């Protein structure tokens, strides 16, 4: 097993400890939106604050703005490319994005954006 695999497994194990959130954080560029302790942990340890910015910066899209509950799934494919699929929580696809490059360390991961708060599914 490589060190990279161990880190991914450890990251996933650490993320499972987050259930609910007592503290919320704000991005100074997107003060309307907040994120939870689990998302902060993910952003710090996976070096992916860019992903939070991506979710927040796309909230102006009419189809997303109209949905108070969104699931954001990032799926990394070969050559560090990725697809981000946004659904409404009932498996109805709202929007899809293609990333030409990402250094996101996990093969796939889901975040929930609920009432202007980005969270891990376990924090709902």
> The domain spanning residue 46 has which CATH number?
3.10.450
The confidence score (pLDDT) of residue 17 equals 95
Q: Alpha carbon 50 to chain centroid distance?
A: 10
The confidence score (pLDDT) of residue 21 equals 86
In the numeric block, which tokens belong to residue 54? 């991506």
pLDDT in tens, the chain (124 residues): 455 555 899 999 999 999 988 899 999 999 999 999 999 999 999 999 999 999 999 999 999 999 999 999 999 998 799 999 999 999 999 999 999 999 999 999 999 999 999 999 999 9
**SS3 state at 61:** coil
Give the chain's domain count: 1
8 CB burial (10 A radius; 0-12, 13-18, 19+): middle
Please report, for residues 3, 15, 24, 64, the alpha-carbon distance to residue 122 in angstroms, rounded to integers and kept in the order given: 26, 9, 15, 22
Q: Which of 24, 49, 53 is nearest to 123 (CA)?
A: 24
- The pTM of the whole model exceeds 0.85: yes
The confidence score (pLDDT) of residue 79 equals 78
The confidence score (pLDDT) of residue 4 equals 55
The confidence score (pLDDT) of residue 121 equals 97
Which residues span the domain enclosing 49? 3-15+23-123
């Amino acid at each position: 097993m490589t060190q990279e695999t161990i880190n991914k497994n450890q990251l996933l194990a650490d993320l499972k400890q987050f259930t609910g959130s007592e503290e919320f954080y704000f991005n100074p560029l997107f003060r309307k939106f907040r994120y939870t302790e689990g998302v902060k942990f993910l952003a710090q340890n996976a070096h992916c604050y860019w992903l939070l910015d991506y979710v927040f910066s796309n909230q102006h899209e009419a189809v997303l703005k109209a949905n108070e509950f969104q699931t954001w799934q990032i799926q990394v494919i070969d050559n560090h490319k990725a697809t981000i699929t946004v659904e409404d929580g009932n498996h109805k696809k709202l929007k899809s994005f293609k990333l030409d490059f990402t250094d996101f360390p996990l093969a796939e991961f889901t975040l929930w954006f609920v009432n202007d708060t980005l969270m891990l599914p376990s924090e709902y």
